[in-house]
Chains A and B, each alone.
Chain A
Amino acid sequence: MRNTTERRFMLKHLELLLLMVLLPFGIAQAQEVGPQDATAPAVDSSNPSDSSAVSLDTALEVVPPVEIAPPGAVTVSDFPNDAGDHLLVSFEPSPDEALGILVYRIYRRTPGATDGTEEWAVVKTVAAGDHTEIVDGYDPDYLVTQGTQYEYRVAAVTADCREIPGEVTVAQVVGRGEWFHTEKLKVLIGCIIFISLIFYYFKRAQMCHELYLRPIPGIDAIDEAIGRATEMGKPILYVPGLSGIEDVATIASLTILNRVAKKVAEYQTPLRVPNRDPIVYTVAEESVKQAYMEAGRPDSYEANSVFFVTDSQFAYVAAVNGLMTREKPATNFYLGMFWAESLLLAETGSLSGAIQIAGTDAITQLPFFITTCDYTLIGEELYAASAYLGREPKQVGSVKGQDACKGIVMTLVTVGIILSLVDIFTGGATDPSKSLLLKLQGLVDVTSLE
Chain B
Amino acid sequence: MYETIGLWVAAILTLAVFSFLYKENPLYRFAEHVVVGSSLGYTIVITYQRVLYPRLVEPVFLHGESLVLIVPAMLGLLYVTRFFPRIAWLSRYPMAFLLGMGMGMAFPYDMQAYILRQIQATLIPLYTPGAPWYNTLGAVVIVLGTLAGLIYFFFSKPHKGPFFGFGSKVGIWIIMIGFGATFGFTVMGRISLLIGRVQFLLSDWLGLLH
Most chain A beta-carbon neighbours within 10 Å: one of B39, B108, B118: B39
Q: B182, A367: Cβ atoms under 8 Å? A: yes
| B162 interface residue per 8 A CB criterion | no
Q: B36, A318: Cβ atoms under 8 Å? A: yes
**B39: contacting residue among A211, A282, A310, CB under 8 A:** A310
Q: A420, B129: Cβ atoms under 8 Å? A: no
Interface residues of chain B: helix, strand, loop or mixed (majority): helix
Q: B123, A212: Cβ atoms under 8 Å? A: no
**A413: contacting residue among B35, B119, B156, CB under 8 A:** B119
| B175 interface residue per 8 A CB criterion | yes
Q: B143, A370: Cβ atoms under 8 Å? A: no
Q: B98, A246: Cβ atoms under 8 Å? A: yes
**If the complex has contacts A246-B101, A370-B179, are A429 and B24 also in contact, measured as CB distance less than 8 A?**
no
Interface size, B (range): 35 or more
Rounded to whole angstroms, the CA-CA distance of A194 and B107 in the bound complex is 10
**If the complex has contacts A311-B43, A367-B179, A413-B143, are A420 and B126 also in contact, measured as CB distance less than 8 A?**
yes
Most chain B beta-carbon neighbours within 10 Å: one of A251, A384, A405, A446: A446
Which chain B residues border A310 with CB–CB below 8 Å? 36, 39-40, 43
Task: Report A370-381 CB contacts with B as 1/0, cut-off 8 Å.
Answer: 110000001111
**B36: contacting residue among A319, A340, A423, CB under 8 A:** A319
Q: A446, B117: Cβ atoms under 8 Å? A: yes
Additional 15 contacts, C-beta under 8 A, given A410-B151, A420-B125: A190-B115, A212-B157, A318-B31, A321-B20, A368-B183, A379-B153, A405-B115, A412-B119, A413-B146, A416-B124, A416-B143, A417-B126, A429-B127, A441-B120, A441-B123
Which B residues have a C-beta under 8 Å from some C-beta of A?
Answer: 17, 20, 23-24, 28-29, 31-32, 35-36, 38-40, 42-43, 79, 82, 91-92, 94-95, 98-99, 101-103, 105-108, 110-112, 115-120, 122-129, 143, 146-147, 150-151, 153-159, 175-176, 178-180, 182-183, 186, 190
Which A residues have a C-beta under 8 Å from some C-beta of B?
Answer: 184, 186-188, 190-191, 194, 211-214, 216, 244-248, 251, 278-279, 282-283, 286, 309-312, 314-316, 318-319, 321-322, 325-326, 340, 343, 363-364, 366-368, 370-371, 378-381, 384, 399-400, 402-403, 405-406, 409-410, 412-414, 416-417, 420-421, 423-424, 429-430, 435, 437, 440-441, 444-447, 449
